């Protein structure tokens, strides 16, 4: 138990799930075993990408939703962990570049994550269904719905809660990015984006303070964080294609949140699947995604320096 507590505290100061439980106590045994995936070198996929020179190979790792670790069963919460978190510890799956945590959370009505601490982490939440109510030790309190982003620089320390006080299931992605330095003053904010902002196009929702040229958040537009990272979201109709140019020495983590996608006419992504893409060292390439039939696709791209 001591080693488990140490790992949990290392995740931005978060305590184990037992402290998060709104009612009852979580079980001790993990719900399922994780699958360690190895990088796949897909030459046919690289050949289809604009800007890829002959002979270059793109390491691309497909993470199907069936391989994600599902949290220990409890009456109120079901989480899928893309990286090591809480009771799930996999030394081969700790992070992807500066991306430390990506959890796909389902929270039942009248429950949620009660007050708990964080520090030295850039944390943001993207809401897919239901209503999320946030309260924190800085005095912030609000309720947000689909397409909204709630973000927090935990910095020197903050306590907050994330609750579902509504009558419908709440689903959101919680993403933690390592900051470029420790000891940042805590900060909280949010954006309520419209569907039109992301409809059939990439919508830039997060960037670095260095790119906005200011150390202040204006409260509108793209959200600045303390790290060289960018986050884009898109909600596309069936058959719509989106180009994403990945610069040299950059990498990206893409999640298909809803619907399905085809990547460069080669790789099929279903709902909750992810891919890791590591760019070339000396030239950029275009990552092309096409929304599938039926509902189309709702996806997120997290772009960062290559490591």
CATH of the domain at 134: 2.60.120.10
**pLDDT tens digits for range 63-91:** 999 999 999 999 999 999 999 999 999 99
- pLDDT, average across residues 25-43: 32
C-alpha torsion 138→144→148→154, nearest 10? 20
3 located within any domain? no
195 located within any domain? yes
293 located within any domain? yes
- The pLDDT score that the predictor gives to residue 51 is 37
6 located within any domain? no
Question: Which secondary-structure segment (H or E) carries 106?
Answer: strand 99-107
- The pLDDT score that the predictor gives to residue 57 is 54
Task: Tell me the pLDDT of the chain averaged across its residues.
Answer: 83
Whether the predicted pLDDT of 206 surpasses 60: yes
d(CA 306, CA 304): 6
Whether the predicted pLDDT of 27 surpasses 50: no
Whether the predicted pLDDT of 242 surpasses 60: yes
50 located within any domain? no
Percent of the residues in the chain that have a pLDDT greater than 70, as a whole number: 79
More confident residue, 49 or 234: 234
Lowest mean pLDDT among 9-13, 15-19, 132-136, 275-279: 15-19
Whether the predicted pLDDT of 34 surpasses 80: no
Whether the predicted pLDDT of 254 surpasses 70: yes
34 located within any domain? no
pTM of the full predicted structure? 0.82
Whether the predicted pLDDT of 189 surpasses 70: yes
The total number of structural domains in the chain stands at 1
More confident residue, 235 or 10: 235
Q: Which range of residues forms the domain containing residue 174?
A: 60-305
73 located within any domain? yes
Question: What is the strand order of the sheet 203-208 is part of?
Answer: 40-41, 59-63, 274-278, 250-259, 297-305, 230-236, 203-208, 223-225
218 located within any domain? yes
**pLDDT tens digits for range 111-131:** 999 999 999 999 999 999 999
């Amino acid at each position: 138990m001591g080693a488990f507590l140490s790992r949990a505290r290392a995740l931005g100061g978060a305590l184990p799930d037992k402290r998060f439980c709104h009612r009852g106590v979580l079980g001790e045994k993990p719900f399922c075993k994780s699958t360690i995936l190895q990088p796949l070198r897909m030459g046919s996929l690289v050949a289809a990408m604009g800007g890829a020179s002959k002979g270059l190979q793109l390491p691309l790792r497909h993470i199907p939703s069936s391989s994600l670790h599902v949290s220990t069963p409890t009456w109120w919460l079901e989480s899928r962990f893309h990286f090591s978190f809480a009771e799930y510890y996999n030394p081969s799956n700790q992070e992807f570049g500066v991306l430390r945590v990506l959890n796909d959370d389902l929270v039942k009505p009248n429950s949620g994550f009660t007050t708990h601490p964080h520090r030295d982490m850039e944390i943001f939440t993207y809401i897919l269904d239901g209503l999320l109510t946030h309260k924190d030790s800085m005095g912030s309190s609000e309720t947000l719905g689909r397409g909204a982003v709630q973000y927090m620089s935990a910095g020197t320390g903050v306590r907050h809660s994330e609750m579902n006080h509504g009558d419908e299931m709440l689903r959101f992605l919680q993403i933690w990015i390592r900051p470029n330095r420790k000891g940042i003053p805590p900060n909280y904010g949010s954006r309520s984006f419209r569907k039109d902002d992301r409809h059939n196009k990439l919508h830039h929702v997060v960037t670095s303070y260095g790119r906005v040229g200011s150390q202040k958040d204006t409260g509108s537009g793209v959200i600045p964080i303390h790290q060289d990272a960018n986050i884009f979201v898109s909600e596309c109709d069936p058959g719509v294609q989106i180009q994403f140019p990945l610069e040299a020495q950059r990498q990206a983590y893409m999640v298909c949140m809803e619907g399905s996608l085809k990547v460069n006419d080669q790789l099929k992504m279903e709902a909750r699947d992810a891919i890791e893409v590591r760019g070339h060292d000396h030239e950029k390439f275009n990552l092309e995604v096409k929304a599938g039939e039926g509902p189309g696709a709702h996806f997120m791209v997290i772009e960062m320096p290559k490591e």
